Amino acid sequence: MNINGRHYRTIWLADDGATVEIIDQTKLPHALEIVRLRDVSDAARAIKTMQVRGAPLIGVAAAYGLALALRADASDGAMASAIEMLSAQRPTAVNLRWGLEEVRRAVAPLGPDQRATAAYAMAAGMADADVETCRRMGEHGAALIQAIATRKPKGTPVNILTHCNAGWLACVDIGTATGPIYTAHDAGIPVHVWVDETRPRNQGAALTAFELGAHGVPHTLIADNAGGHLMQHGKVDICIVGTDRTTRSGDVANKIGTYLKALAAHDNGVPFYVALPHSTIDWGLDDGRAIEIEERNAGEVLQMTGRLADGTVAVVEIAPPGTPAANPAFDVTPARLVTGLITERGVAPASAEGLAALYPEHAR
């Protein structure tokens, strides 16, 4: 997507053909900084500290991280340790493990002298495939938005609520939940997005508002607790969110707070859609309650980062010193609250049957 007229992806191979560059998402929206990942530890740190984040992007970042590891040491032992280390950085998004497994399966049969080159090619291919996947999700999801638009008075925008950032910054480009929004907007369908701020890390305020603004999509930032009220008053036509892991039965783990939005949507008859690529489906899990939920640092709840009037970026405390805080980073929305899953293969009911119909190769 474009920032100030220049096209960016979130991750790319640097000009030296060996190191990897990323947009540092911890600095947005206040600064656009590019960071270079020189080795596997840099990649692991970038994933852990959320310089790169969002399920599809950390899958690709992990694949590049493994390529960086194999460049230094392509032995079986080094590969196994790199995979173990990288997959431990964030436990909930299954794309991380998926990306590593894809690379491992492709390079393991090769001799050590061929592995790094093959891993770089795999990572680049995964990045390209992610863009195409998001493009297709965008088309399928935009059809849902178009259908709502035709039922509204001509020219009135379709009001879409989204949570966290499941945009191009969470992927390689385009985004999962934002794909349908960009596609609809670019096709001339009037849209307006309610952007949940998404405490504690404010991915909505910092990232979704940034990217929607850069693309010219009308949007309004809201406090996380405002969504239910807006739905009660008919101000939300559809919710579209992303996911970090979806079970084969359609339960959906996503950023903490998603479940409450799904409950409010259910109570108010607002359709609640989840957009996801195939790499986010955990075919080994039937029940969302078995998904490991990442518990992050309490400091993320106790502090806020923002820009002061003089332009400097500062971290401030928002609770009395010594306040205990808990920080579960994700929650699980049961399939019964999800109207449909928007995938690259089409829109399916959130159920084992719905997913099996779209992905027959995984049907039991």
Asked whether position 180 contacts ligand MRU by CB under 6 A, the answer is no
Q: Which residue reads 């001339």 in tokens?
A: 188
Residues in CB range of 219: below 8 A, 6 or more apart: 192, 193, 194, 195, 208, 209, 212, 213
Report how far residue 163's alpha carbon sits from residue 166's, in angstroms, rounded to the nearest whole number: 8
Question: Which of residues 164, 231, 239, 262 is near ligand MRU by CB under 6 A?
Answer: 164
User: Which residue, judged by CB position, is nearest to ligand MRU in the bound state?
Assistant: 242
Query: In the stretch 333-362, what mask flags binding to ligand MRU with x, by CB under 6 A?
Result: ------------------------------
Asked whether position 133 contacts ligand MRU by CB under 6 A, the answer is no
Q: At what angle do helices 112-151 and 94-107 cross, to 10 degrees?
A: 140
Tell me whether residue 83 or residue 329 sits nearer to ligand MRU (CB atom). Answer: 329
Instruction: Compute the least distance from the CB of residue 294 to ligand MRU, in Å.
Output: 8
Q: Is residue 29 within 8 Å of residue 207, measured between CB atoms?
A: yes
Asked whether position 193 contacts ligand MRU by CB under 6 A, the answer is no
Asked whether position 65 contacts ligand MRU by CB under 6 A, the answer is no
Of the candidates 212, 191, 345, 190, the one whose C-alpha atom is nearest the C-alpha of residue 275 is 345
Burial category of 101 from C-beta neighbours within 10 Å (exposed 0-12, middle 13-18, buried 19 and up): middle
Q: What angle do CA 306, 309, 314 make, to 5 degrees?
A: 30
Length of the chain measured in residues: 364
For residue 244, indicate whether it is catalytic. yes
Query: In the stretch 272-311, what mask flags binding to ligand MRU with x, by CB under 6 A?
Result: ----------------------------------------
Instruction: Compute the least distance from the CB of residue 72 to ligand MRU, in Å.
Output: 27
φ, ψ at 298 (rounded to 5°): -60, -25
Catalytic residue among 244, 251, 282, 331: 244
Report how far residue 274's alpha carbon sits from residue 141's, in angstroms, rounded to the nearest whole number: 10
Asked whether position 227 contacts ligand MRU by CB under 6 A, the answer is no
Instruction: Compute the least distance from the CB of residue 252 to ligand MRU, in Å.
Output: 10
Question: Which of residues 127, 170, 174, 338 is near ligand MRU by CB under 6 A?
Answer: 170
CA distances 131 to 9, 92, 160, 210, Å, are 9, 22, 22, 20
Question: Which of residues 179, 180, 227, 242 is near ligand MRU by CB under 6 A?
Answer: 242
Report how far residue 45's alpha carbon sits from residue 60's, in angstroms, rounded to the nearest whole number: 15
Question: Which of residues 9, 255, 261, 278 is near ligand MRU by CB under 6 A?
Answer: 255
Tell me whether residue 120 or residue 168 sits nearer to ligand MRU (CB atom). Answer: 168
Question: Which of residues 87, 159, 243, 246 is near ligand MRU by CB under 6 A?
Answer: 243
Residues that bind ligand MRU (CB under 6 A): 53-56, 93, 164, 166, 170-171, 176, 203, 242-244, 254-255, 329
Residues marked active site are found at 244
